[in-house]
Amino acid sequence: MNEADGPGRPTGPSRRHFLGRAAGLAALAASVGPGRSLGAANTGSAGLHRHQQARLTVRAVDAYPVFINQRSEGLFDAPTFSSDDDPRRWSYGGPFSQIPSAIIAVIKTDDGITGFGMGAGGSVATEIIRGHLRHLLVGANPLNVEQLWDQMYSSALFYGRRGVFAMALSAVDNALWDIAGKHADQPVHRLIAGTTRERIAVYQSGGSVQAGRDRGIRHFKRFLRVGPATPRPEFERFIDDVFEARQIMGPDGNLMTDCVSRTGTVEWAVGLAERLRPANLYFMEELLSPDNVFGYAELVRRIGGEGPGWTRVACGEHEYTQHGFDVLVRLASAEVLQPDMTWCGGLTAGRRIARLVEQAGLEINPHRGGSLWGLPLALTSPSCVMAESFPAGSELLGAMTPQFEAGDYLAPQGPGFGTRLTEAMVLDHRLEAGS
């Protein structure tokens, strides 16, 4: 487990190393050629290939929106706004935004294996699974995971390269990997890598820093829910929270921030980074809209890099598939890339993204890497130095959370993703309009 060798000073690959590798990455992508995915080269472990020779058949596919936490409450309620200028209009996410609209796919095989996979997109995503993806899965061999991913992704190229389709694809892809692990009687992280770490440091997002330290957690991220229009008193409260976190932590451990920004500008973000420079941040996340890839590239040039007080630019939580991340990497739009395995296209996409990121000399740090869905990639990616906390506030979330010990998440030992999900539990947490 790599630790920071100073406050906010990571030991991962440097930005200079990344810039030196960018040209090589472009050549690699070109060498893949038409008709092959970026993940086709060097795909899978010997163990996975052996088990792919077996013949299983998918006999049933379904998916359900589930109650994930209190953020799912009132998901379908119609909002009321005071005027066209009501600031709440900028934060309203609707009923299909990623975390509160969680779904679970349930895939059954002819030999009695049931695979579970988390995604998002609520009832829209479940309709895509039932009305579209199911037809490519029923009757197929679920062990042909990457081939099925390519077929499903290609089938939606004209309507679903990003967003809800990718979130639906994530759910079924994860369920297929769960089946592969259960069939092989291996945890997914061993199935995809052979050798891997058995624990990884946690970084806690939000919550009490002191309480986290009391539990042995060494790394923390604070939410900076600010933008150019944030009133000054509220802005200052968030700034103070970051410095208070550093004071409680002391000089050791990594401290990060997340702006969850939709409205930030490059100049505003540079000013914010300068203001927080004394906090010695490991990275600053989501300073701009995810569509502002050129702005992110400018931020990397202006606030990323090496030297005293530098910080890394992080994004990718709201990007999709290896194709979207290929753009971020080629444009040098981030130094830490954060795919979410339940949104980006599932573990198949995540592995392909990880290869792009590692080959470019960058760091991959999966969003919610401390969930059992994100942990396999965190454990098996050499550049990943810590896994984001995954709060277990309900029975369902608890069933998808790994064991914790002395500030680390422990690798699951059970087959598949190692969740404790059952079909009865999923149905018990099913979320429907009006419920």
pLDDT in tens, 212-251: 999 999 999 999 999 998 999 999 999 999 999 999 999 9
| Contact predicate 23/365, CB 8 Å | no
Separation CA 354–CA 43 (nearest Å): 12
**N-term to C-term CA, the chain:** 44
pLDDT in tens, 343-362: 999 999 999 999 999 999 99
Which pLDDT value is given to residue 6?
Answer: 37
263 pLDDT tier (thresholds 50, 70, 90): confident
pTM (2 decimals)? 0.87
What single string gives the DSSP state of each residue in 290-349?
A: TT-HHHHHHHHHHH-SSSTT--EEEE-TT--HHHHHHHHHHTT--SEE---TTTSSHHHH
Least confident of 39-43, 314-318, 336-340: 39-43
Topology of domain 15-34+190-422 in CATH is TIM Barrel (3.20.20)
Mean pLDDT of 297-315: 83
pLDDT higher than 50, residue 45? no
pLDDT higher than 80, residue 306? no
Q: Residue 197 burial (CB < 10 Å; 0-12/13-18/19+)?
A: middle
Separation CA 18–CA 13 (nearest Å): 7
- The CATH architecture one would assign to domain 46-73+90-186 is 2-Layer Sandwich (3.30)
Do the domains 15-34+190-422 and 46-73+90-186 sit in the same CATH topology, yes or no?
no
What single string gives the DSSP state of each residue in 197-233?
A: -SEEEEEEESS-HHHHHHTT--EEEEE----TTS-HH
Which pLDDT value is given to residue 73?
Answer: 65
| Host H or E run for residue 59 | strand 58-65
Share of the chain above pLDDT 90, in %: 73
Which pLDDT value is given to residue 300?
Answer: 94
Separation CA 290–CA 121 (nearest Å): 18
> Could you tell me which residue, 375 or 78, shows the higher pLDDT?
375
Q: For the chain, which residues make up each domain, given as ranges?
A: 15-34+190-422, 46-73+90-186
pLDDT in tens, 156-180: 999 999 999 999 999 999 999 999 9
pLDDT higher than 80, residue 34? no
Which pLDDT value is given to residue 52?
Answer: 54
